[in-house]
Structure 1
Amino acid sequence: MYKNIIFDLGGVVVDFNPREFLVDHFLNEKIENQLYDITFGSAEWLKIDAGVLDRTQAYDIMREKGRTLGLGFEIETILNDWFDMLNTKDDVVQLMKRLKKRGYKLFYLSNIADDVLETLSQRRFWSFFDGGIASCEVHMLKPDIRIYQALLDKYHLIPSESIFIDDNKINASAAFDADMVGVHFRNVRTLQRALKSYGVESEKKLSRHVQKEIAKTTSGTTK
């Protein structure tokens, strides 16, 4: 029986699609690829998320690379505007709310920088989490097996009772190496279907069987 549902943040709980962001802003595939390599796809970006490189220093490196290619203005646009991507996915939050009401423990495991973590922790959905680990705190990045293990160890979670959800297929698959179930996130509908296949009810209306099981559990804990 699964008890713990673990969410990636960017791309699952909040929007984060750098490729779409670049298309919306520049409409030039060649330039978009160059900009991606300098920013979101760069070693510097990974180091920011891992908490081993200051964002100011990383941005200076990105700006210099952009100027070298004649893309200084475009790089500045990205650095100024990319935070606007991080809109809360309301349908995912509603799913989290239903899971929480049904007694599941919710956690996050995310490759994320400290300033982004601080921003997201102020949002209303944060109260649904029972805990979590961000890469910037432990200086490790998914799909490194150690970061999955760090979450399990910190909260004494049993791997076989845990499901991890990530929009990155490689990161989702890596959860199996930690003896958890990994689910590749595409949208809420397919996520609900995947969770249901593992016996996790997340629909708005519960089956009679599940309602009876919840009633039994509740009556047994409220004496």
Structure 2
Amino acid sequence: MSFASSYTTLIFDIGDVLFSWSPQTKTSISQNVLRKILSSPTWNDYERGRMSQAECYARVGGEFSVDPTEVARAFQDARDSLQSNEELISVIRHLKARSDGTLHVFAMSNISAPDYEVLRTKPADWSLFDGIFTSADVGERKPNLGFYKAVISSTGADPSRTIFVDDKMENVLSARSLGMRGIIFDNTRKVVRALYNLLGDPVERGRQYLTMNAKKLLSVTDNGILLRENFAQLLILEATDNRNLVNLTDTHRTWNFFQEKPLLTTEEFPFDLDTTSLGLTVTNSPEDVAHSVMDDMLDYIDDDGIIQTYFDHRRPRVDPVVCVNALTLFYSYRRGHQLDRTLHWIREVLLHRAYLDGTRYYATPECFLYFLGRLLEISSDVYLAVYIKPLLIERVRERIGADGDALALSMRLRLCAYLGLRNDVDLRTLLPLQCEDGGWEIGWIYKYGSSGVKIGNRGLTTSLAVKAIIEMQQRFPSPPSTVPAIPLVKQAYTTA
């Protein structure tokens, strides 16, 4: 399952993609009429070189009841307004330069010969293109298949290795029907993101993001408050095995979620069994310390026999994910039998799908399932494998293809890789969520129990996404389908 780019050709529309223009003129011709002229059969014939400019202006003047001289003035205003899309052109230049000559770039436009002559006088990096095809020269016009076939024949491009970008759906549809990867242009930033994702290696780009932001991979709330906390840092460390990426509060025994003064909660925030369990399993603490902490944890079990969240009897909170993480610690040291009633309750939560709306402190069902898979993987306990694993496989299968943010998808994919479940559906959804900088969109992992404010971390999402892709590559070497799960340029773009 290699994700190195197989694309060798880029084909771009010119008008409204590489160049923008304004339909607003100083004439009596309205924007609406101007656009109708551009879509008229007469104008189509003009762009295919079947009549002169003067003849075209005369005909559309008669068809739309306007003076031909006004038509000429209107289109002169349109030509004067032409401006190159330097952001997109710069990205294309970068992509082509880094390809070491393997990527070829072409333009393909419905444009008349006179208008093209004017266009070429506009400042732009025309040397970027290996060829420019106009409807006037070819005698065909998009979306007619003849135009595309002429370009393919002339360039020798393999449609299956070609990306086509155009602002009109019907033009993209024709390209796709010939086997090209079509992107509808409606926003420069989205198209740039799609190009980076299609032409780059997601693992390499993700790692670059993590390295560039080392020690700065902070968490953030969904209302924009930055948090310095240990839990996400521990998970990033576990996923990357790179201590240089994270900041952790040194501790010899128990861990606190917050590294500094608690935010959005009480000023004195107790140490918790959740972060402590994670810290003791990720950092390989001395065995005597781990046993001592587990002895203390056994003092925080409620009347139902379920282990609690905080080292604080004044906060008798219970959360299934916290229970799973405590079980992971206990089973890591062969003391799982001491939390039998907690384990039984966790299986009931799994059996009855009680996790589907998240838990008190965790935002998504994937959090519960992910940490349950982590329990099985770390413990390698035969009893747990029999008691939990078959049901977990069934529940994870149910989630494949379900809605989820980048973090939930990454957790699901890692689970599938561990359980031996191929999951091309969620992989195809995850890949386009990678941003231009190489990191993935933020995903929400936990939340404040009282207010419901969510907490996420792009570094955590990116580290789990990279790990998920690698594990899926290793488990299932054959490539997934290249058909995107959702349109590449319709994705929402959010960053922390």
Q: TM-score, normalised by structure 2?
A: 0.36
Q: d(CA) in 2 for partners of 1:207 and 1:27?
A: 53
**What is the aligned partner in structure 1 of residue 114 from structure 2?**
115
How far does residue 129 in structure 1 lie from its aligned partner after superposition?
0.4
**What is the aligned partner in structure 2 of residue 13 from structure 1?**
18
Query: Which SS does the other structure have where 1:192 is aligned?
Result: helix
Q: d(CA) in 1 for partners of 2:89 and 2:180?
A: 22
Question: What are the within-5 Å matches in structure 2 for residues 96-115 of structure 1?
Answer: 96-103=92-99, 104-115=103-114
Q: d(CA) in 1 for partners of 2:62 and 2:10?
A: 42
Question: What are the within-5 Å matches in structure 2 for residues 205-216 of structure 1?
Answer: none
**What is the aligned partner in structure 1 of residue 185 from structure 2?**
185
Q: Is the 8 A contact 2:11 2:106 kept in 1?
A: yes
Q: Is it true that 1:62 corresponds to 2:67 in the alignment?
A: no
Q: d(CA) in 1 for partners of 2:76 and 2:120?
A: 21
Question: What are the within-5 Å matches in structure 2 for residues 136-175 of structure 1?
Answer: 136-175=136-175
Q: How many residues align?
A: 196
What code does the residue aligned with 2:18 have?
V
Call closer, same or farther: CA 1:193–1:131 in 2, change over 3 Å.
same
Call closer, same or farther: CA 1:174–1:16 in 2, change over 3 Å.
farther
Q: d(CA) in 2 for partners of 1:34 and 1:131?
A: 33
5+ residue gaps, structure 1, are 210-223
**What is the aligned partner in structure 1 of residue 8 from structure 2?**
3
Q: Is it true that 1:33 corresponds to 2:11 in the alignment?
A: no
Question: What are the within-5 Å matches in structure 2 for residues 188-203 of structure 1?
Answer: 188-198=188-198, 200-201=199-200
How far does residue 173 in structure 1 lie from its aligned partner after superposition?
1.7
Q: d(CA) in 1 for partners of 2:172 and 2:207?
A: 32
What code does the residue aligned with 2:7 have?
Y
Q: Is the 8 A contact 2:162 2:180 kept in 1?
A: yes
What code does the residue aligned with 2:60 have?
M
Q: d(CA) in 2 for partners of 1:78 and 1:64?
A: 15
What code does the residue aligned with 1:180 have?
M
Q: d(CA) in 1 for partners of 2:157 and 2:41?
A: 32
What code does the residue aligned with 2:176 have?
F
How far does residue 206 in structure 1 lie from its aligned partner after superposition?
5.7
Q: d(CA) in 1 for partners of 2:7 and 2:13?
A: 18
Q: Is it true that 1:88 corresponds to 2:93 in the alignment?
A: no
What code does the residue aligned with 2:14 have?
L
Deviations 1:8-38 (A, max 9, x none): 1111111145xxx24x65799xx5434543x
How far does residue 81 in structure 1 lie from its aligned partner after superposition?
1.5
Q: Is the 8 A contact 1:120 1:126 kept in 2?
A: no
Call closer, same or farther: CA 1:76–1:151 in 2, change over 3 Å.
closer
Percent pairwise identity: 27
Query: Who wins on radius of gyration, i.e. which is larger?
Result: 2
Q: d(CA) in 1 for partners of 2:147 and 2:191?
A: 23
Q: Is the 8 A contact 2:10 2:104 kept in 1?
A: yes
Q: d(CA) in 1 for partners of 2:130 and 2:76?
A: 32
5+ residue gaps, structure 2, are 1-5, 209-496
Query: Which SS does the other structure have where 1:58 is aligned?
Result: helix
What code does the residue aligned with 2:136 have?
C
How far does residue 74 in structure 1 lie from its aligned partner after superposition?
5.0
Q: TM-score, normalised by structure 1?
A: 0.77
Q: Is the 8 A contact 2:9 2:104 kept in 1?
A: yes
Q: Is the 8 A contact 2:163 2:183 kept in 1?
A: yes
Query: Which SS does the other structure have where 1:175 is aligned?
Result: helix
Deviations 1:173-209 (A, max 9, x none): 21111111111011221002222342x139xx96667
Call closer, same or farther: CA 1:12–1:140 in 2, change over 3 Å.
same
Q: Is the 8 A contact 1:145 1:174 kept in 2?
A: yes
Query: Which SS does the other structure have where 1:141 is aligned?
Result: coil
Residue from 46, 50, 59 that aligns with 1:48: 46
Q: d(CA) in 2 for partners of 1:141 and 1:4?
A: 20
Q: d(CA) in 1 for partners of 2:45 and 2:194?
A: 32
Call closer, same or farther: CA 1:26–1:207 in 2, change over 3 Å.
farther
Call closer, same or farther: CA 1:46–1:106 in 2, change over 3 Å.
same
How far does residue 63 in structure 1 lie from its aligned partner after superposition?
3.0
Q: d(CA) in 2 for partners of 1:13 and 1:3?
A: 19
Q: Is the 8 A contact 1:50 1:136 kept in 2?
A: yes
Q: Is the 8 A contact 1:165 1:182 kept in 2?
A: yes
Q: d(CA) in 1 for partners of 2:119 and 2:88?
A: 14
Q: Is the 8 A contact 1:173 1:183 kept in 2?
A: no
Structure with more contact order per residue of length (Cα contacts < 8 Å, sep ≥ 6)? 1
